[in-house]
């Protein structure tokens, strides 16, 4: 018997329904498509990391961790940030372990943004930013990155700032474009926020995946920006364990206090055994310092394999992603192109229009190279069979 409710509901997100991600997932499963769509590795994490979780469980670390996280793990994070970026965060009051980077984003926006506020963010964007802002009774203000280089037009940012602007959301390295902020971008961001109460929420989950010997220009590398920033990162992205759902954020104590007020009622604490394992794993800095070269090899392999394909690949400076342009051989919408790739070629990708609230279609699709070599080779072989239309 199907249960029916007599309760009338009123949605807080009435325009959020079945997304293209769900459609692609279902179609991919139906056709058993090669997965170049999801930004999650399909290879195993370090065996020592898994062993660390087992040891923690066997040692009895299976109950709640402290609300803000294990102190030893927070110490490792603070040490890493100080070494790499030169900014000191107080372990007890300015570092928070979250139940995923997504929870960190939600807790930060919920704790710091109020009804009537405006939050500037940049499209194409990770799909959770605008809905979280709307759930606070605030207004998301989208600024489109330039195409095809996906840079920020800082004149547009200046024009968009109003007395209601409470937050600017930054993402570097950027999902989905694979671009990164430059030192000049940080200078511009510091200038537009100087002498304001604007908070910067910086999504830096791919902070260790920056290519071609370039530096990660995160908020902690710029003292003026660090003073007004909440920085969110991810153990899942760094250590190939996205399903473990553990992340962290750092912020000045005045901002962190408000974030913790939400976190304690939303999750209270992140998974305990994983925190012990991450703390142990982080004793070796190479566990994150080696990531750039590791993923650059995958990027370069996919670029080489697709050199004879009909697609034109845009540069990827960081992250797990690279964009492929097809406008020169097809007038199809990016959603139709993605569906055709699944049904005719057996490979799953993501249409870039899915990352715009207005569905902007630049005839670009997103590929993930966070896959093992066999998957990359099979996926590229399938993409090379695409016929112009």
Same domain, 212 and 278: yes
pLDDT of res. 17: 74
Same domain, 217 and 331: no
In a domain, 58, yes or no: no
pLDDT of res. 275: 98
Same domain, 191 and 276: yes
Q: How many domains does the chain have?
A: 2
**Cis previous bond, 173, omega within 30:** yes
Running DSSP on this structure, what letter comes out for residue 318?
B
Same domain, 25 and 94: no
Q: Which of 247, 267, 284 is the last residue of a domain?
A: 284
How far apart (Å, rounded) are the C-alpha atoms in residues 9 and 302?
Answer: 47
In a domain, 11, yes or no: no
Strand partners of residue 248: 97, 233
Q: CA angle, 241 as apex, 236 and 244 as ends, to 5°?
A: 80
b/e burial code for range 320-343 (CB count within 10 A of at least 16 → b): bbbbbbbeeebebebbebbbebbe
pLDDT of res. 1: 75
- We report the CATH number of the domain holding residue 134 as 3.40.640.10
In a domain, 90, yes or no: yes
- Which residues have C-beta within 8 Å of that of residue 343, sequence separation ≥ 6? 27, 31
pLDDT of res. 250: 98
Same domain, 367 and 240: no
- We report the CATH number of the domain holding residue 362 as 3.90.1150.10
pLDDT of res. 124: 97
pLDDT of res. 142: 98
Residue matched to tokens 């700032």: 161
What's the distance, CA 90 to chain centroid? 25
Q: Which of 284, 301, 319 is the last residue of a domain?
A: 284
Range of the domain at 27: 20-45+289-383
In a domain, 321, yes or no: yes
Same domain, 198 and 336: no
In a domain, 6, yes or no: no
pLDDT of res. 40: 87
Same domain, 341 and 241: no
Q: Which of 284, 305, 336 is the last residue of a domain?
A: 284
In a domain, 53, yes or no: no
Q: Average pLDDT by consecutive 10-residue portion of the chain (389 residues)?
A: 88 81 86 92 93 97 97 98 97 97 97 98 95 97 97 98 98 98 98 97 98 97 98 95 95 98 96 97 95 98 96 97 97 95 95 95 98 97 91
In a domain, 30, yes or no: yes
With left for phi above 0 and alpha for psi between -120 and 50, is residue 350 left, alpha or beta?
A: beta
What's the distance, CA 289 to chain centroid? 19
Same domain, 332 and 361: yes
DSSP string, 224-271: HHHTTEEEEEEHHHHTT-GGG--EEEE--HHHHHHHHHHHHHHTSS--
The arrangement of strands across the sheet holding 199-203 comes to 95-98, 247-250, 229-234, 199-203, 165-171, 118-123, 139-144
Same domain, 109 and 205: yes
Same domain, 69 and 181: yes
Running DSSP on this structure, what letter comes out for residue 216?
P
Same domain, 165 and 235: yes
In a domain, 249, yes or no: yes
pLDDT of res. 137: 97
pLDDT of res. 78: 98
How far apart (Å, rounded) are the C-alpha atoms in residues 110 and 127?
Answer: 16
How far apart (Å, rounded) are the C-alpha atoms in residues 270 and 212?
Answer: 34
Same domain, 106 and 248: yes
């Amino acid at each position: 018997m199907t249960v029916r409710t007599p309760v009338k509901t009123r949605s807080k997100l009435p325009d959020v329904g079945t997304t293209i991600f769900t459609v692609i997932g279902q179609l991919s499963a139906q056709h058993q498509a090669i997965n170049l769509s999801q930004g999650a590795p399909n290879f195993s994490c370090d065996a020592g990391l898994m062993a660390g979780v087992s040891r923690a469980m066997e040692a009895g670390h299976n109950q709640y961790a402290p609300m803000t996280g294990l102190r030893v793990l927070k110490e490792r994070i603070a040490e890493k940030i100080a070494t790499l970026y030169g900014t000191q965060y107080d372990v007890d009051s300015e570092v928070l372990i979250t139940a995923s980077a997504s929870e960190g984003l939600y807790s930060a926006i919920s704790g710091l943004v109020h009804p009537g506020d405006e939050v500037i963010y940049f499209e194409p964007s990770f799909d959770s930013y605008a809905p979280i802002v709307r759930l606070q009774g605030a207004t998301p203000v989208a600024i489109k990155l330039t195409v095809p280089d996906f840079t920020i037009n800082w004149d547009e940012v200046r024009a968009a700032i109003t007395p209601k602007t409470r937050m600017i959301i930054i993402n570097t390295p950027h999902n989905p474009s694979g671009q990164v902020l430059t030192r000049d971008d940080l200078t511009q961001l510091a200038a537009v926020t100087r002498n304001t109460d604007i908070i910067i929420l910086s999504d830096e989950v791919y902070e260790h995946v920056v290519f071609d010997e370039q530096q990660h220009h995160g908020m902690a590398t710029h003292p003026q920006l660090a003073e007004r920033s909440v920085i969110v990162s991810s153990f899942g992205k760094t250590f190939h364990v996205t399903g473990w759902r553990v992340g962290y954020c750092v912020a000045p104590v005045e901002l962190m206090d408000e974030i913790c007020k939400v976190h304690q009622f939303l999750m209270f604490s992140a998974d305990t055994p994983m925190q012990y394992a991450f703390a142990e794993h982080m004793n070796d800095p190479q566990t994150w310092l080696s990531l750039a070269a590791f993923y650059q090899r995958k990027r370069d392999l996919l670029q080489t394999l697709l050199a004879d394909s009909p697609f034109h690949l845009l540069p990827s400076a960081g992250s797990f992603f690279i964009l492929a342009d097809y406008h020169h051989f097809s007038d199809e919408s990016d959603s139709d192109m993605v569906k055709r790739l699944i049904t005719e070629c057996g490979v799953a990708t993501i249409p870039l229009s899915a990352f715009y609230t207005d569905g902007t279609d630049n005839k670009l699709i997103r590929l993930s190279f966070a896959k093992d070599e066999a998957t990359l080779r099979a996926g590229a072989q399938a993409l090379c069979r695409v016929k112009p239309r």
